[in-house]
Amino acid sequence: MIVDYLKLIGFWAASVVAGLLLSVAFNPFAFVTVAVLSAIMLSAGLLSAILIVALKPLLVRYALARPNARSSHTIPTPQGGGIAVVGAVLVTMALAFSVLGLPEHFFKAFVILAGASMFLAIVGAVDDIRPLPAGLRLVLQVAAVAAVVVTSGLRILPDVVPLAVEQAILILGGVWFVNLVNFMDGLDWITVAEMVPVTAAIAVLGPAAGLPMSILVTFVALALCGALLGFAPFNKPVARLFLGDVGSLPIGLLVGWMLLQLAGTGTIAAALLLPLYYLTDATVTLLRRLARGEKVWEAHRTHFYQKATDNGFSALAVSAHVFGLNLALAGLAAMTLVWRSAAVQAAALAAGLALVILVLRLFSRPRSKVVR
């Protein structure tokens, strides 16, 4: 455990020093900006780890996930680490607002986002302890997503569909995204491998895309990235702690809100490319289950990442493939911001989908021995 923390702190320190040196070399005024951004990420990470250490005895006692036929773990493991992750994000952002004095409209937008995230965290916490009926969960998720979508005022296709129709589509898509993040959080480190590259890419690409609230999006992205890194040592294979629905649901909402902000600038290709692995794995799996007449709201082990572990991949190997794939998808997303022609957007999406399909096919093939 101590070695894990030292490695994590060393990585953060090296990243911060490198960023500061580069920023000063090219623009001395960027020193303060890089220092602030690094402080947000580091603070969220340390706070997340501290909260986990403090809360873990309670989680072991009241939120123990016991293995079943659909589980990827074999021994009882506490869940609920998402309390620390989401809590660290919200506390770090509250401190950022109080110290930096961000504009009032940023504060109003964040209050709505934070309120909806806390609401979903409560729903997830209850569901972790005593599962809620699927219909009730769906209604509560729709309410949280609708609050964020309607108050954002963003239009993705203003010249194609009326406002009411577009908002209904965005709410439906947001609820699906919240749920698919929850569905995909079924293997040690997979959420870290997915969301750390995605949030880091959003923090970098947001200002380049010209987001109206790029500062707020960057701050939230770095806070979530740091909080997940603080959670990572506890969730590394073999995990000693899971996020639980209390973490995966609000994380899905937070990342969905960031992607909505990105898509709202017209960079829809980038907003699709960043989460493309999760979108494809979860959607293809859902359609297959619907075709087989299965109850799609029930737990299962038919996602591609779950098949990979059945086919001989270790949890670490699966997460490594997902992490590498997401780095490539982030590169393609960046390309769509540099060259904004329709041809480049289509080519980047096609290339991203081809990479995702390649990984999914790899996960579907049996292995003769465990990949380490």
* 38, 48, 50, 298, 299 from 131: Cα distances, Å: 38, 26, 28, 11, 12
**Residue labelled with tokens 């999760």:** 278
Closest CA to 52 of 193, 234, 222: 234
CA distance 319 to 331: 18
182 labeled binding residue: yes
Burial class (CB in 10 A: 0-12, 13-18, 19+), 314: middle
CA distance 163 to 157: 9
Q: What is the dihedral of CA 163, 282, 225, 250, to 10 degrees?
A: 60
- List the alpha helices (DSSP H) in the chain: 2-26, 30-62, 82-100, 104-129, 134-152, 163-184, 190-209, 214-235, 245-263, 268-273, 276-291, 304-310, 315-338, 342-364
CA distance 184 to 287: 15
* N-term to C-term CA, the chain: 21
245 labeled binding residue: yes
Count of all residues that appear for the chain in the document: 372
Strand partners, 371: 313
Binding-site positions read 182, 245
Binding-site positions for Mg(2+) read 182, 245
